[in-house]
Amino acid sequence: NAGVTQTPKFQVLKTGQSMTLQCAQDMNHEYMSWYRQDPGMGLRLIHYSVGAGITDQGEVPNGYNVSRSTTEDFPLRLLSAAPSQTSVYFCASSYSGLAGSYNEQFFGPGTRLTVL
């Protein structure tokens, strides 16, 4: 198993550009999520999905879109990049997002994004 994979590893954008961060998992996990990590801070939840066709907002969703057309993939879209979106982005997955279920989450290696 490759686990959770993310592409690209690094990206530099200019303000106003759009791009998609890719995330894929091969563990047949229902639950997937995106986080951002800023210097000196823990991770903050952007969006999550409890299964194909279902997405919802996390703590910091503004400026980001997601969709989940398959169990394996959960791309994150930046529609019009801003310098405030400079961060490291992590994707994660687990078997279930349901309370009371076994929900150990596994993280991808991250994408380091700089917006100029």
Residues in touch with another protein (CB under 8 A): 31, 33, 35, 40-45, 48, 58-59, 88, 90, 92, 97-100, 102-107, 109-110, 112
CA distance 39 to 61: 19
Smallest distance, another protein to C-beta of residue 39, A: 11
Write the DSSP assignment of 77-92 as a string of letters: EESS--GGG-EEEEEE
Closest approach of another protein to the CB of residue 41, in Å: 6
Cβ distance to another protein smaller for residue 1 or 14? 1
d(CA 101, CA 83): 38
